[in-house]
Amino acid sequence: MKNSPTALYILFALQAFCALFFLADAVGDFLGHEDIAGVGDSDTFEYMVAAALTLSVIYTGRQILSMLDHQKRIENQLRAASSAFHELLEEHFDEWKLTPSERDVALLAIKGLSISEMAKVRETREGTVKTQCNAIYKKAGVESRTQLISQFVEELIEVPDRVAA
């Protein structure tokens, strides 16, 4: 039942039932109708509902803590992957001997910006960006942005031998 969405829905339903029971009981007490909750004056049933509510709140709290811990681990892994990808980019940029301007354009191209968007960001003309892109492709030994990006994707994704063939 650990980290099961079904378990959490069941606990939510149980907590909702308990809350409604206690709300109905309180309204009944306020209005002077002792049996408005449908169980009369049964302290035993109230104890059972209170125990079920307490246990489900404890379990839900533990699930929340577990999910927060999981989220923190994923964020750390994402930071590490982002850093590793940046290092991979820098290694290739060094290997290809890209100029600082070409590095900027290559990074923007990999991020998916259009030629016109890159020109705006770099405060230059579209023709200049196109020329820089062509220089990057030539130095990288590719013919297009797609092939440029695929070089990095291939290094990031391990392909099993049976699929690589």
> Taking the CB of residue 25, how many other CB atoms lie within 10 A of it?
19
24 band by pLDDT with thresholds 50, 70 and 90: confident
3-state secondary structure of 3: coil
Give me the sign of the Cα torsion angle 121, 126, 129, 134: positive
Compute, in degrees rounded to 10, the torsion defined by CA atoms 70, 72, 74, 75: 160
Every domain of the chain and the residues it spans: 1-80, 96-165
Segment 97-149, tens digit of pLDDT: 999 999 999 999 999 999 999 999 999 999 999 999 999 999 999 999 999 99
Segment 82-93, tens digit of pLDDT: 888 888 899 999
Q: Which two tokens stand for residue 94?
A: 């060094």
The mean predicted confidence, pLDDT, of the chain is 86
CATH topology (fold) of 96-165: Arc Repressor Mutant, subunit A (1.10.10)
Segment 148-158, tens digit of pLDDT: 998 888 877 76
7 band by pLDDT with thresholds 50, 70 and 90: confident
Yes or no: say if 143 and 161 are a contact pair by the CB < 8 Å rule.
no
